[in-house]
Structure 1
Amino acid sequence: MTVAVYCLIAAALMIVLTKVPLAWAMSKEGRGYDNRNPRQQQARLTGFGARALASHQNMIEAFPVFAAGVLLALLSGATGSWLTGLALAFVIARVVYTACYLADLHALRSIAWVVGFGASVGLMVLALF
């Protein structure tokens, strides 16, 4: 397996991992984790909990673009350091993005988002060459 495939698996797992701080915030919300109506409970979150929700949702949104980039690059026969570097850049950017979102570092978070999105688009561009 290539590094890009490992990164694809890691990114898929990050969808679940970004749910952990959200679930923790929901459990501390006052009435415990509401598994019957989690979206209603999430809508009431503020501060850290609201940021955890937004971070989790954004990971769900970012994953398909990254997955498409990796799959396009692999299907086109791309190999080498660009494929590896862009895939790793996405995963690292998403870890930084999540940490910045939870810590309320909005400017740094935006930079991390641009890096991650750029890496996804870069993977798609690899398919052209």
Structure 2
Amino acid sequence: MTIAEYCIFGSVVLYLLTIAPIKWLGFRDYDNSKPRDPAFYHDAIRSRALGAHQNGVEAFPFFAVAVLLAEFRAAPQNLINELAILFLIVRIAYVLTYIGNRPSLRSILWSVGFIINVAIFFLPLIRGSLRI
């Protein structure tokens, strides 16, 4: 497996770890028979953690497809790996800024992450012009 493929797995782990501690820390209020009960998420931090989690779920498919497409189309693997690691780092920072209630920085990080995904997606188009 490539580093970028491990980053795909890391992206899944990140969005799961975004919400799991919140549920664990709020075990007294959390009812596993109603995991999507809106009342549990009325607390501001819980609400932001849920938003970060949901955004992670939304961002995952494009990232996974971009990495796999770039690999299947023989884009330079070292660039795919580097961009995938960078994406994961940006996503970690995104989660921290989301939970930490820093909306402007969060939006900037989301945009950077999206641009990284677009770059990975289009790497196969430029593979011939790169001397790597």
TM-score, structure 2 normalization: 0.85
Is 1:26–1:42's contact at 8 Å kept on the other side of the alignment? no
* Structure 1 counterpart SS, 2:33: coil
Is 2:15–2:52's contact at 8 Å kept on the other side of the alignment? no
Gaps of 5+ in 1: none
Q: Does 1:122 align with 2:119?
A: yes
Report the CA distance shift for 1:109/1:25 in structure 2 as closer, same or farther (over 3 A).
farther
Is 1:11–1:63's contact at 8 Å kept on the other side of the alignment? yes
Q: Deviations over 1:54-84 (max 9, x none)?
A: 0000000000010011011000011244212
Distance 1:69 1:54 in 2: 23
Give the drift of 1:108: 1.0
Q: 1:106 aligns with which of 86, 103, 106?
A: 103
Q: Does 1:91 align with 2:66?
A: no
Give the drift of 1:42: 5.4
Give the drift of 1:19: 1.7
TM-score, structure 1 normalization: 0.87
Gaps of 5+ in 2: 127-132
Q: Which residue of 2 aligns with 1:9?
A: 9
Q: Deviations over 1:6-52 (max 9, x none)?
A: 1111112112111224314643xxx5211111212456423111101
